Amino acid sequence: MSVDGSEPANWSVEEEKNYDDWYLDEPAAPTKPAHEIILPCDPTVPDQLYHLILAPLSLAVLLTLSVLVKRRRLCKGWFNGVPGLLSPVNFLGQDGQKAGAAAVFGVLFCSLCRLVLDPNPLPFLTDSSLQYREYWKILALLYYPTLYYPLLACMSVRHGAGYFLGGILSWLHCGILIWQKAQCPEAPKFHRYYSLLSALPQIACFLLLSLLYPAWLLKKCKEDKKSKCDEVTESSYCLEYLQTLLKKKKKSSSQLNDCFPSQSWSSLNSYLYSPQQGFHLPLKLILSSTVGGICLYQVALLLLVVFLPTVQKIRAAIDMDAVLMLAGFGINFTQDREEAIILLKYYLWALEVCYVSALVLSCALTVCMLVRSLVLHRSNLKALYRGATSEVFLHDQRLRPSRSAIFCWMSFTSYQAALTCIGLLLQQLVFFICNIVITFLVIIPVVYGKNLLLFKILKTMWPFWVMVLLALILQHLCARFAFLQMSSTTRELNNRRALYMLTYLLFPINMLMGFLMGVWRIVISALFNIIHMCRLDISLLHRSVETFDPGYRIYYHFLKIEVSQSHPMMRTFCFLLMQPSTLGRPARTKNGDVEEGIQLMQSKTPLTKGVNSRQSRTRWWLAYTLLNNPSLAALRTARLVAVTPAPNGTPVMSPS
Amino acid sequence: MSVDGSEPANWSVEEEKNYDDWYLDEPAAPTKPAHEIILPCDPTVPDQLYHLILAPLSLAVLLTLSVLVKRRRLCKGWFNGVPGLLSPVNFLGQDGQKAGAAAVFGVLFCSLCRLVLDPNPLPFLTDSSLQYREYWKILALLYYPTLYYPLLACMSVRHGAGYFLGGILSWLHCGILIWQKAQCPEAPKFHRYYSLLSALPQIACFLLLSLLYPAWLLKKCKEDKKSKCDEVTESSYCLEYLQTLLKKKKKSSSQLNDCFPSQSWSSLNSYLYSPQQGFHLPLKLILSSTVGGICLYQVALLLLVVFLPTVQKIRAAIDMDAVLMLAGFGINFTQDREEAIILLKYYLWALEVCYVSALVLSCALTVCMLVRSLVLHRSNLKALYRGATSEVFLHDQRLRPSRSAIFCWMSFTSYQAALTCIGLLLQQLVFFICNIVITFLVIIPVVYGKNLLLFKILKTMWPFWVMVLLALILQHLCARFAFLQMSSTTRELNNRRALYMLTYLLFPINMLMGFLMGVWRIVISALFNIIHMCRLDISLLHRSVETFDPGYRIYYHFLKIEVSQSHPMMRTFCFLLMQPSTLGRPARTKNGDVEEGIQLMQSKTPLTKGVNSRQSRTRWWLAYTLLNNPSLAALRTARLVAVTPAPNGTPVMSPS
């Protein structure tokens, strides 16, 4: 079977070679190399067997872990004390297993890509059941997340057995996949290596998981010897965040010198995500970036293999017949037929170059946009953590969960992936057309002196261009030297009569310039929207209606949930409340009336002074903390009201 | 001559009738009504003669007025004491001649439209000089403003002779134009009545001028008897503005009841421009709106006459041959030929309906946008007058003239006209395509049960739609009832494990929803930009880069010049400084140390109290005025510093 597996088996190799030339609907070219024939290949473990082994195994792992957790009641606080069906990763936590979760999402996303492109949604289906293909596809959309669910659950139980089972599972997945691809690297779909190349991210993710699980198991064994608490990583981040926040800020010297190199460096820096001490991105954003990156790779690969081999085949098959056929449609390049073949091949080659360069440009821009998104996510989150909602949202917003906020938070990662895909496709389409226009109307005419269509049009319009240019220069010169009176304190209008006269007399010429400006406005706004289509963190609509943009709306609500539910300071308070004497702090009973979070700040002060001075200092720290985090004030008040119904005597800040 | 005047004169009427059917390249249809023949028509005063009379006459009027103004040194203050070439309208003033200026701009704009469409740029050119048509067109771009220059200059000299000469000129223009159109209402270009219809706005503008000039002359004669000052209108507006500003504001009751009808009424009201007491729009904005409105009319008319008669002719000419020709291209509607003719005619009629409805929609939206612009212009100007720059520009800006600001201010009106034109063309194109899609893929299939292409596609995709809908409902229901815990003070997340599981398991389905959302994002942002293309007052780019939008940049700089140069309060101060004892105020010598503008506020207080109380009250008024208009503080300080080098003892506000 050569192309789609539907030819009868008695086709000869010669016939198959001819079949490759069907693009021209012409009789066979005399001789062709046989390198396009892909021999059928059956791996030792076919897809069917792979799923038939791993699906029951995954289920078994899930059940085993559930029973294990139920029996030993591990980590009661983590599961709200009700073990049962295992939780996937804690999306709102900062628990140090981000790489593992991102790898599982990458694996899942690659499976989805294959699912969309494959005619057979589930590999273990027989041909007879494929008549209900739509239903099977829908079922497959739920099957794949379930298949990879144990890979997440094994890491979230934080138990040695979990890590062990997860490691076994990921080794199995990884081993079978690599074995399959090593045995059959070529496949007939799209391009001989497409199947292999599209599986690379999945293999990489499985490899990562296969390395992570043993590492976690090893770490767990070491930790079990020292202490029994798992949540040190959780609180250590919060502690780091708090210490960075409360540290005295050094005056950054880069803000002082506003020279051009430093400005350009800082603007370039805003497109590079460099980690900052004391701040980790939330898990959801890391997942979105990972999935976005893999999406970029898969779509770019697909775009490449769908177009390029086809055009290359057409180019190789161009001969006299093709030229004659084109001449039949009235397309004549030159009178000389040999030259026409060369020209036609050259033009097709130029088309390929346009396509590839458009793809490279689109991918580079999308990567830039995704990284820039990360930088903006960080600055937005930091601003919201310190309560500056109006910096991020233009208007003050109350950050609390709501129905639509929860829905948007749930679908954020998926929407980011979908938008990355759509944005890349749009960019590729637009840049390809632009490249074709530039190549065939500007570059080839300039280099070869042929098809000077655009230049002829521009040449006939030269009086118009000269007029526009002269009017532009005249107005700018007059505005600078005749109409503007600059003094040390003020700038005033001068020669008003001449200004009014010029304004009136140049009205028609300015209107022509207005048309040029209008075209530029269309181009710049369309380009801006196309390039920023993959970004959820900015709205494509005007600022007065920015939440009508569905993409920005998702982000807006996502931020609300993230900030209200995983504020690092709030998490530290909660953690300290739950674990009274961890981290070597003074015990809670010593000054029980002082809030817990403040104890953090005492780690570097000796406990020798009197209770009064300590209490006043802690009160000062409290005020400082609340001043730096106004969004906490409302929460604190609500909590204080709930705990002590009438807090007389203590100054309670009113929730603004 | 029937269509373009190039046929030999001995063509018979029958041949001419056949010529009308050239659209199908078919032999003549047997019988056709002769209503399409437009007989040649020569008006008594052809265009050549019109220009040969009026151009010298306009020049003569201009010279006469210049001499008259020079000899009698009229209005010395108005011309900076150097009369010479007359000024056109004072674009930065509020001098009550807005209607006249708008009419002249309307006339000029209509001439430009004709210039662009006409092969002969200047009617008095001979055929031999048309080989340099480009140069003549450029010259014509300067000729038409010069031709109508006296119509503006006559009103700006504010002299009886000016009004008289202007009246004569406008009567001549108006009379000749009406005479021409009455004699030859039909012309062969585009449509028989296109020429007449496109001249209607010009005739209306000339009629307005012909009425305004006598009215001004009459008013002038009356005023001459009373007083010699022309600038009462100028200051009366400023006085009105100040009084409205300083009046105690009544609590508007509409803000109190936030019920749905009042909200919708207020949002509807923001698209209706109703004049407000004490605020007049600047002249430039009125000119822009007038020119924008006329541009809308001209472009819509052109779009109508270019498309509709052509399609109607094709529809009338459809017969068996056309159906056979389409069948030759493989387009078969039905087997029955008679029915095919009826169907084809019906489809063409549907196409016409689509086109006209798209045009009506585009025009309605453009009118809405232009009116909405006016409302926003007013609110922006009012905000800037009271110094709230950050309300309008997002960041604080210093409002003062600069080179680019002057350039943008000069070209604002032209750019508004050009963008209105481009916006309407874009809207028409997009809405026409949308209408065709809706009509031929939705309405006709639903009504007649034919071509159910779209519905078949939707039908095959129904499991997908059901799945998406179910997932959407499931997530929203869960978010509302399972994951959100609402109490009286806070809203908290609940059932986190189930939330995380649902988030993970629905990732693939949410991605499909993300694709739908992405398509919606493309549609909504494209529609928003297309509809708002004609508006300069909003940026089509994101708020962080909004001044990169060339349209918004023009508006941004325009506002800077308008506010810095024609702030009503500043104008009042200047006016009072120049005219010490006007309007019946107490003379300046009485309290010379008090600033002039404050005297305005004393108009309603009797002059019986002591100097101390008056001085304290005036100081209070000064502080109040400056508080309400912080943008004046900087100007006042600079002026005070310039007048009195060391203002010791008086508290000078520092320019922020």
Enumerate the β-bridge partners of residue B279.
B276
Cβ distance A559 to A448 under 8 Å? no
For residue B541, the distance in angstroms to the closest alpha carbon of chain A comes to: 6
First CA to last CA distance, chain B: 73
Burial of A453 (0-12, 13-18, 19+ CB in 10 A): exposed
Q: Other C-beta atoms within 10 Å of A604: how many?
A: 6
Q: Report the pLDDT value the prediction gives residue B321, as an integer from 0 to 100.
A: 81
The tokens describing A159, both together, are 């138990």
DSSP assignment of A527-559 equals HHHHHGGG-SSS-SS-GGGGGGSHHHHHHHHHH
Give pLDDT tens digits for A106-153: 999 999 998 888 888 787 777 777 778 888 888 899 999 999 999 988
Q: Do B90 and A500 touch (CB under 8 A)?
A: yes
Q: Kind and range of the H or E element at B485?
A: strand B484-486
Query: With an 8 Å Cβ cutoff, is A543 touching chain B?
Result: yes
Q: Report the pLDDT value the prediction gives residue A518, as an integer from 0 to 100.
A: 94
Enumerate the β-bridge partners of residue B491.
B486
Write out residues 129-168 of A within 8 Å (CB-CB) of B.
Answer: 134-135, 138, 141-142, 144-146, 149, 152
Torsions phi, psi for A228 (to 5 deg): -105, 5
Distance CA B538, CA B528 (A): 11
Give pLDDT tens digits for A80-95: 444 466 777 888 876 6
Amino acid code (one letter) for A168: I
Name the residue in chain A with its Cα closest to that of B466.
A138
Confidence of residue A583 (pLDDT cuts 50, 70, 90): very low
Query: With an 8 Å Cβ cutoff, is A513 touching chain B?
Result: yes
Cβ distance B512 to B468 under 8 Å? yes
For residue A302, the distance in angstroms to the closest alpha carbon of chain B comes to: 17
For residue A163, the distance in angstroms to the closest alpha carbon of chain B comes to: 20
Give pLDDT tens digits for A415-435: 999 999 999 999 999 999 999
Query: With an 8 Å Cβ cutoff, is A395 touching chain B?
Result: no
Q: Which single residue is written with the structure tokens 């909003």?
A: B538
Closest residue to B503, CB basis, from A91, A112, A146: A91
Could you tell me which residues come within 8 angstroms of residue A114 by beta carbon, excluding any fewer than 6 positions away?
A198
Q: Report the pLDDT value the prediction gives residue B1, as an integer from 0 to 100.
A: 37
Query: With an 8 Å Cβ cutoff, is B524 touching chain A?
Result: yes
Choose between A216 and A252: higher pLDDT: A216
Burial of B300 (0-12, 13-18, 19+ CB in 10 A): middle
Name the residue in chain A with its Cα closest to that of B528.
A541
Q: Other C-beta atoms within 10 Å of B164: how many?
A: 16
Burial of B91 (0-12, 13-18, 19+ CB in 10 A): buried
Distance CA B631, CA B653 (A): 12
Q: Can you list the positions of beta strands (E) in B110-262?
A: none
Weakly modelled stretches of chain B, pLDDT under 50:
1-34, 74-83, 228-231, 252-256, 581-609, 645-656
Could you tell me which residues come within 8 angstroms of residue A609 by beta carbon, excluding any fewer than 6 positions away?
none
DSSP 8-state assignment for residue A651: -
Whole-number average pLDDT of chain A? 78
DSSP 8-state assignment for residue B279: B
Query: With an 8 Å Cβ cutoff, is B85 touching chain A?
Result: yes
The tokens describing B581, both together, are 């004892």
Q: Which residues of A touch B548 (CB under 8 A)?
A: 524
Q: Report the pLDDT value the prediction gives residue A426, as an integer from 0 to 100.
A: 95
Q: Report the pLDDT value the prediction gives residue B552, as an integer from 0 to 100.
A: 93
Q: Report the pLDDT value the prediction gives residue B460, as an integer from 0 to 100.
A: 85
Closest residue to B517, CB basis, from A394, A415, A561: A415
Q: Report the pLDDT value the prediction gives residue A394, as an integer from 0 to 100.
A: 79
Q: Can you list the positions of beta strands (E) in B226-326?
A: none
Query: With an 8 Å Cβ cutoff, is A426 touching chain B?
Result: yes
Write out residues 552-571 of A within 8 Å (CB-CB) of B.
Answer: 554, 561, 565
Q: Do B90 and A505 touch (CB under 8 A)?
A: no
Strands B491-493 and A491-493, sheet pairing:
unpaired
Enumerate the β-bridge partners of residue B276.
B279
Distance CA A431, CA A364 (A): 12
For residue B409, the distance in angstroms to the closest alpha carbon of chain A comes to: 9
Q: Do B504 and A402 touch (CB under 8 A)?
A: no
Closest by alpha carbon to B491, among A408, A553, A554, A635? A635
Give pLDDT tens digits for B404-430: 999 999 999 999 999 999 999 999 999
Confidence of residue A599 (pLDDT cuts 50, 70, 90): very low
Q: Can you list the positions of beta strands (E) in A233-325?
A: none
Could you tell me which residues come within 8 angstroms of residue B473 by beta carbon, excluding any fewer than 6 positions away?
none
Cβ distance B596 to B588 under 8 Å? yes
Q: Do A138 and B87 touch (CB under 8 A)?
A: no
Q: Report the pLDDT value the prediction gives residue B579, as an integer from 0 to 100.
A: 60
Distance CA A577, CA A589 (A): 12
Q: Which residues of A touch B93 (CB under 8 A)?
A: none
Could you tell me which residues come within 8 angstroms of residue B350 by beta carbon, excluding any fewer than 6 positions away?
B439, B440, B444
Helix A133-156 and helix A98-117: axis angle, to 10°?
A: 170
- Which residue intervals of B567-629 are DSSP H helices? 568-578, 611-628
Closest residue to A549, CB basis, from B146, B413, B521: B521
Q: Which single residue is written with the structure tokens 């526009």?
A: A468
Closest by alpha carbon to A544, among B543, B270, B533, B551? B543
Q: Report the pLDDT value the prediction gives residue B28, as an integer from 0 to 100.
A: 44
Q: Which residues of A touch B550 (CB under 8 A)?
A: 517, 520-521, 524
Query: With an 8 Å Cβ cutoff, is A390 touching chain B?
Result: no
Distance CA B622, CA B601 (A): 10
Could you tell me which residues come within 8 angstroms of residue B30 by beta carbon, excluding any fewer than 6 positions away?
none
The complex scores an ipTM of: 0.82
Distance CA B238, CA B236 (A): 5
Give pLDDT tens digits for A247-278: 756 554 444 455 677 778 877 877 888 887 77
Query: With an 8 Å Cβ cutoff, is A67 touching chain B?
Result: no
Could you tell me which residues come within 8 angstroms of residue A222 by beta carbon, excluding any fewer than 6 positions away?
none
Q: Does residue A22 register a pLDDT over 50?
A: no
Cβ distance A546 to A540 under 8 Å? no
Query: With an 8 Å Cβ cutoff, is B543 touching chain A?
Result: yes
Largest CA distance in chain B: 103
Closest by alpha carbon to B293, among B100, B60, B534, B531? B534
DSSP 8-state assignment for residue A479: I
Q: Report the pLDDT value the prediction gives residue A645, as an integer from 0 to 100.
A: 45
Distance CA B517, CA A417 (A): 12
Q: Report the pLDDT value the prediction gives residue B36, as an integer from 0 to 100.
A: 60
Could you tell me which residues come within 8 angstroms of residue B476 by beta carbon, excluding any fewer than 6 positions away?
A403, A407
DSSP 8-state assignment for residue B594: S
Q: Report the pLDDT value the prediction gives residue B583, as an integer from 0 to 100.
A: 44
Q: Do B524 and A549 touch (CB under 8 A)?
A: yes
Which long-range contacts (C-beta less than 8 Å, at least 24 apart) are formed by B31-37? Answer: B36/B2, B37/B2, B37/B13
Task: Report chain B's C-alpha Rg in angstroms.
Answer: 33
- Please give the angle made by the CA atoms of B7, B8 and B11, to the nearest 5 degrees: 90
Distance CA A373, CA A552 (A): 12
